[in-house]
Chain A
Amino acid sequence: MKCKISSSERANVLICALCTILVISLIGANVLQNCTTRFNVASSQVRSWKESLFAAETGGDIGYSEIRKTVLDPANAFSGWSASGSVHTSPVTTLPGNNLVTSSVVDLFYYDPITGNPWYRARSRGTAPVNGLRRTGMDDRMGAGSRGDSLLRKIDFNTDHFIATYGPNGDGVGKAIIPVAAPQITRRIEQISAPVTPFEAAIKCTGSFYGLGSAAQVDSYNSKNGPYYFCANNPADSHFKDSRSGSVEIGTPVANVNGMLYGNISTNGGTVVPSQYVTGTIDNNVPFTVPPYAMPTNMPPAQPFPTTVTATESITPPAPGTAANPTYYLLSSLSGKLTINPVGSAQTYVAIHVTNDLTATITVKNGVHAKIFFDGNMDVKGRDMDNESGLAANLQYYAISPPDPATPQFIHIAPPGNFAATFYAPSADVVLNGNPDLTGAIVCKTFYGNGNTSWHYDRALDTEGDAVDYRIVSYVEDIR
């Protein structure tokens, strides 16, 4: 007998199947939801947090590049930025790819009292969009009083929390509720750029080196400890530690080193012989370059008189000035005899720019700190550099690099005469003849010296001289 099953009793299996599917689906949905949350954190929020730092550091690099231009390419420094006093603000830059946004504010916040070189602070911010849903998805399952991810990574979902809480510059001024178009993370860093001064060695040349005489010697002392005396062969002397820094740095393999060298020597692939005359280390694998030197653009207005010196001239500045703000003279010719006097007993700072060759005798009286910039060549005798203090830092020569790198430039120093001075001439071929006793340092393109010179590098020069580059010396992140 065939039994007919009622239609109302057929759903048992279907209901069981649906329940099973529901249970499994709920588990699956739960897994999916949690995985999505983790994925959201891992792929979007952590990534954005890291990328915003990359963007901020890119802004810092852009600012650093402009800071370097203040000495390497002054005419184009901060081009396209807006300026207010010594504060420069960059345009907002959107980096291709992930829509990262960065901007920087660079301000001159400090002048070195000895050299007058400016220090710069670059405050940069980088913003990265947070993709995905407008919700946190952060892992806040920490102990009591702690908040997991949200304590570390701060996401702006609707408004910029930093501007709302601390103001746009972080100083509490100008707090405002600023909506954001989409979720984003912003990080802020502050970098300090310090000037690099040029005289780190007794002689530094990017090209060939020959010298000095076979009976010459290069040693060092520190003028902060008093006048020079020879102690490089006396370890018991209290100033012995300052006596063996008469170093030579050569940027090519062409190195003919003669004479006794109380210091280190480095070449770029050269061979230093005889090495027994070098007391320090010999490193033949030190490549380096020295960029051309441009006339600084931060000089004050030039004095009206004199504008040329072709005979005997004596100048006394109207004010002592400072290292950062010296009394400035612009001369079309300097071929006579120039004496620079201090203002009373005050330390007096003078800068002279000669737009031609330099052949003059310059007498720098005690208490005067003189910087001589020249566009052409220099051809003098040792006695023409009359630096009464005996401190090399008080008479600094700077050879402005010719606009065309192929244009030759030279510095010739002939006998007689001893002198104390420094030379920064990265484009000049330097020839030093005679047997002078000299105190100072030189940076040049090529160096040739055949005399039995006694060369004393003053270790105080390590922090002297005009800035020739910048380096980042401090890094701070504003973690608020």
Chain B
Amino acid sequence: MKQPGQRNTSGFTLSEMMIALAAGAVVLGVTLTSSTSLQKSFNAIDSYFATHMQQIRIVDYLSRDVKRGLIVTTSADLQTVTVTVPNYIIQATDPEGIANPALVGTPRTPTILNTPSGPQVNYGATTSTIVYSINGLSILRTENGVVTTIASSTDQLVPQTTDVELANTEYTKTSITFRPIFTSGSTVAQRSGTTVYSTAYLRNKRRG
């Protein structure tokens, strides 16, 4: 019989509490594990795509420079590309720039030089040199001594330049790979799965 003035109290039995705690622990564990796994997965995916974007950037850089290049050479170990490009813009240290500072930063009008192999288009008396090289996990682009890190987590750049003299054609094929951070099993297979290939043709063929 309910006593007058008695509060309506209720509670859990011990078994209910233990079951609830166990269930809660399981749910919390699953949540934490899932969160951690999701976070790791996210990091891996983010890293993969970020590095893939770096691959695309390297390809775009190389393609741009090879297209406007006069001479492209690849090192024997296939780890370095050297591109000679015209000096299209007058620099402050160029003779024209020193003689007339107002010309600094403006495009050059090319001059024509007749050579035994035909007329040659020159933008100024000198050319610029661009070198693509690897430094640890980074790929560097060095133009006239100025270094730019164009990729920070791609560790393999394998360029190959082919000169087809009969067709007066030269092109550079490049493959770029990186090692994903969630690698497991065969590292070689993981790396090869990230390969991006590109081919760029020289628009200015200048021999010698």
Contact = CB atoms under 8 A, between A and B. Distances in A.
A119 B11 CA distance: 98
A32 to B, nearest CB: 10
Interface string B47-85: 001100110110011001001100000000000000000
Interface centre among B42, B61, B118, B121 (most CB of A within 10 A): B121
Interface stretch (B146-154, B173-181, B183-191): B146-154
Interface in A26-63: 27, 30-31, 34-35, 38, 41-42, 46, 49-50
Interface in B24-43: 24, 27, 31, 34-35, 38-39, 42
A46 B60 contact: yes
A50 B57 CA distance: 11
A192 B53 CA distance: 33
A142 B151 CA distance: 7
Interface string A237-264: 0000000000000000000000000000
Contact of A5 (B10, B24, B110, B123): B10
Interface stretch (A149-157, A296-304, A394-402): A149-157
Interface of A: 3-6, 16, 20, 23-24, 27, 30-31, 34-35, 38, 41-42, 46, 49-50, 109-110, 112, 119, 121, 139, 141-143, 145-146, 148-149, 151-153, 166, 170-172, 190, 192, 194, 463, 472-480
A479 B109 CA distance: 16
Contacts of B24: 16
Given A20-B27, A476-B86, A142 B150 contact: yes
A477 B130 CA distance: 15
A42 B56 contact: yes
A476 B88 contact: yes
Given A20-B27, A149-B57, 8 more contacts: A6-B10, A31-B42, A46-B60, A112-B112, A139-B53, A142-B152, A172-B106, A194-B119
Interface centre among B24, B88, B138 (most CB of A within 10 A): B88
B149 A146 contact: yes
B139 to A, nearest CB: 10
B60 A152 contact: yes
A24 B152 contact: no
Interface centre among B45, B61, B102, B112 (most CB of A within 10 A): B112
Nearest to A27: B38
Contacts of A34: 42, 46, 49
Contacts of B109: 109, 121
B204 interface: yes
Contacts of B151: 142
B8 interface: yes
B107 interface: yes
Interface string B131-146: 0000000100000000
B53 A149 contact: yes
Contacts of A142: 148-152
B94 to A, nearest CB: 15
Contacts of B204: 473-476
B39 A27 contact: yes
A393 to B, nearest CB: 15
6 contacts: A38-B46, A143-B138, A145-B148, A172-B102, A474-B110, A479-B64
- 10 smallest CB-CB distances across A and B, nearest first, come from A475-B203, A3-B10, A474-B121, A143-B149, A171-B106, A38-B49, A146-B149, A142-B149, A476-B88, A146-B148
B68 A477 contact: yes
B6 interface: no
Nearest to A114: B114
A151 to B, nearest CB: 6
Nearest to B106: A171
Nearest to B205: A473
A153 B46 contact: no
A470 to B, nearest CB: 12
Interface centre among A121, A145, A474 (most CB of B within 10 A): A474
Given A143-B152, A476-B86, A480-B89, A23 B60 contact: no
Given A31-B45, A41-B53, A153-B60, A475 B68 contact: yes
B105 interface: yes
A141 B50 contact: yes
Nearest to A187: B64
Nearest to B123: A476
A227 B148 CA distance: 57
Given A146-B150, A476-B123, A170 B60 contact: no
Contacts of A474: 86, 110, 121, 203-204
Contacts of B8: 4, 6
A149 B11 CA distance: 63
Contacts of A5: 10
B10 A172 contact: no
A119 B57 contact: no
B106 A170 contact: yes
Nearest to B70: A474
Contacts of A170: 106-107
Nearest to A34: B46
B143 to A, nearest CB: 10
A475 B61 CA distance: 16
A139 B50 contact: yes
Contacts of B110: 109, 121, 192, 474
A20 B31 contact: yes
B119 A473 contact: yes
B42 A4 contact: no
Nearest to B151: A142
A194 B67 CA distance: 19
A76 B53 CA distance: 46
A141 B149 CA distance: 10
B105 A23 contact: no
